[in-house]
Amino acid sequence: MDLEYNKNEDQIKLLCSQLHAKEKKTKMGGGEKKIKEQHDKGKLTARERIDYLRDKNSSFLEIGLFAGDGMYAEQGGCPSGGVVAGIGYIHGRQCVLVANDATVKAGAWFPITAKKNLRAQEVAMENHLPIVYLVDSAGVFLPMQDEIFPDKEHFGRQFRNNAKMSSMGLVQIAAIMGSCVAGGAYLPIMSDEAMIVDKTGSIFLAGSYLVKAAIGEDIDNETLGGATTHCEVSGVTDNKFPNDQACLDYIRNLFDKIGHNEKAGFDRADPTPPKEKPEEIYGVFPVDRVKPYDTLDVIKRLVDRSEFEEYKPLYGKTLVCGYARIDGWAVGIIANQRKTVKTKKGEMQMGGVIYSDSADKAARFIMNCNQRKVPLVFLQDVSGFMVGSRAEHGGIIKDGAKMVNAMANSTVPKFTFIIGNSYGAGNYAMCGKAYDPRLIYAWPTAQIAVMSGNSAAKTLLQIRVSSLKAQGKTISPEEEKNLLKEITDRYNDQLSPYYAASRLWVDGVIDPLETRRVVSMGIEAANHARIKKFNVGVIQT
């Protein structure tokens, strides 16, 4: 191994070590004290409930672990958005699991909580998966009610989704394992079956204090909306249980008897590990985002037997397209190429830029994958589309539009991994969040923004200096240098994959070695939902 390989390996392993430490801290939710309070009440935590419910030693693909990271500092923070969500297995059956984390502000809903819950429901709806809600929430976080209550993608959207999923025939099961108040009470009761844990679970539109204030009635919460009331008097809930474990056991028994739906029919062979060692990704992928590398070196460490059948290898070389298998599943891969190649005019570094011929190639490849029912995997390390007179005269906008059109209308499931740069329109063309990838994850090496930090900082500096000059103010070279640093630091913070993950622009940040597992579980989930016929619409030629 050469010096460059060792340098890359050290840097990426450090980034992954930082990632794993951040994961461990985030999974503590509200901290040890709050966890102890849950246990003292005889309750499991949100993560303990999910671990108890799902099959032992099975995989759990968490969605939105870093939601809310670094946000709401004035309110004390909201790790993981106050809710745990992901795809897991119950009796070998894939499902979406959602559990309020009562160690975080008593499970109250922040704006990011609503966004994360809607994302979990979206995953269930897109993939026709059953969903389980483990409810333990104090309701809307009132100091921020204007950012969570009334808009289209706010709190109320989840109940609309409850109704839509019911009409789609998707199984929804809920367990009330703590507080369930106000509008939040509709979520479990709009599910197919609702359980409640005795003495710790309660559900009502208004608690005892509000009832007293509103109508003057004196009543305690247990009598108002406890397990006995709703199982024996109102009939709102279906069964009550003495503790969390008994309730979760009942849910497991329900899953043992759910029927099966027709599959989409994606092809899967026997899974085979890559021939090239996957951990060598750490060495072949450079952290320095201006360094060239061959994306095929990365692909061969992700795909079964390291076998990759490239499509049009001699044409449109700044994009690599081809067929492979990941954990047995047939996939079509589209990846940016950043290696240095020899041309008639000398050496050229591709730099992850999309040219007209590359966009044309990708559009054709996407259509082929849809024709053959092959899921698509995008590996983003893109600087954007080529600019300049030669590119414009060559029709880069037209060819870029072809690629975006084909990708946007693709009906086979799409999975996106941001492994390096994700800048400008390149983010869109390579199936960014706006284009409905079934799952989208970032490596710790990712950066997501309109343009690179250096380019953006210089542009923003020019705007700021021009504004100051227009006001008749002068700026010294030293002040200009300090201003550039201030702008660069702020912009670089926003480039971070954790910044994107905290806002759910991506579903999470993963170790590169987790990529195969995410693809495999994602396609397995997608295989539950039949796909529509591909119709690309109008593409200008």
pLDDT band for position 532 (cuts 50, 70, 90): confident
Which one, of 56, 128, 54, 44, lies nearest residue 85 by Cα? 54
Residue pLDDT, tens place only, 320-351: 999 999 999 999 999 999 987 665 555 656 67
Residue showing tokens 């599943």: 329
Cβ-in-10-Å burial (0-12, 13-18, 19+) of 27 comes to middle
**Per this entry, what is the length of the chain?**
541
162/160 Cα distance (integer angstroms): 5
pLDDT band for position 178 (cuts 50, 70, 90): very high
Helix (H, G, I), strand (E, B) or coil at 494: helix
Q: Which amino acid is it at 445?
A: T
- Residues 202-237 as b/e (b if ≥16 CB within 10 A, e otherwise) read bbbebbbeebeeeeeeeeebeebbbbebbbeeeebb
Helices (runs of H) and strands (runs of E) counted in the chain = 20, 19
- Asked if 311 and 362 count as a contact pair (C-beta separation under 8 A), the reply is no
pTM over 0.85: yes
Residue 199 has pLDDT above 60, yes or no: yes
Residue pLDDT, tens place only, 96-124: 999 999 999 999 999 999 999 999 999 99
Residue 393 has pLDDT above 60, yes or no: no
Q: Within a 13 Å sphere around the CA of 190, how many CA atoms are in the beta-carbon half?
A: 18
Percent of the chain with pLDDT over 90: 70
Q: CA-CA distances (angstroms) from residue 102 to 110, 296, 423?
A: 13, 45, 38
- Asked if 400 and 385 count as a contact pair (C-beta separation under 8 A), the reply is yes
Start-to-end CA distance of the chain, whole Å, equals 46
pLDDT band for position 261 (cuts 50, 70, 90): confident
483/489 Cα distance (integer angstroms): 10
Helix (H, G, I), strand (E, B) or coil at 486: helix
